[in-house]
Amino acid sequence: PPAIHSAPPITSAPLITSAAPASLGAPVPVETPVRPPQATRRGKSTTMQQTWARLREEQKYKSELLEVERIKAENDRRRIEREEKRDLYNFEVETKRLKLEEDKNLLLKQIIEQNSKFQEKV
């Protein structure tokens, strides 16, 4: 009889051999790997599961967009506060500068008047 094919198995699953004897003209027994069991229903992704997964992804995306918008709004609010404080500070500084300039001009006017009075006396 011909030799039995003895190639290493494809998987570690048990092997099945042909049950017909070679003397009856049956083909030579060949070891064939047993297929791993089909994935259970639980492991398969159904259309409903895919739909829910897609909806969860969309919800996650929308939540992230909302968070980005919230952060942008907070940054805008802080920027506006800084600009308002800066403008108020600049206004106060300019007001003080103008007041000092006005006081200086008033003092110069008084000095000039006193000098002219003194000049008249001399």
Nearest-angstrom CA–CA distance, 109 and 106:
5
Q: What's the confidence (pLDDT) of residue 33? A: 56
Any domain includes 60: yes
Question: DSSP 3-state helix, strand, coil percentages of the chain (rounded to 5)?
Answer: 65, 5, 35
Burial class of residue 29 in the structure, from the number of CB atoms within 10 Å of its CB (0-12 exposed, 13-18 middle, 19+ buried): middle
Query: For the chain, how many structural domains are there in total?
Result: 1
Q: What is the pLDDT of residue 119?
A: 84
Range of the domain at 74: 46-121
Q: What is the pLDDT of residue 101?
A: 98
| Residues of the chain falling short of pLDDT 50 | 15, 18
Kindly report, residue by residue over 48-79, the tens digit of the pLDDT: 889 999 999 999 999 999 999 999 999 999 99
Q: What is the pLDDT of residue 71?
A: 97
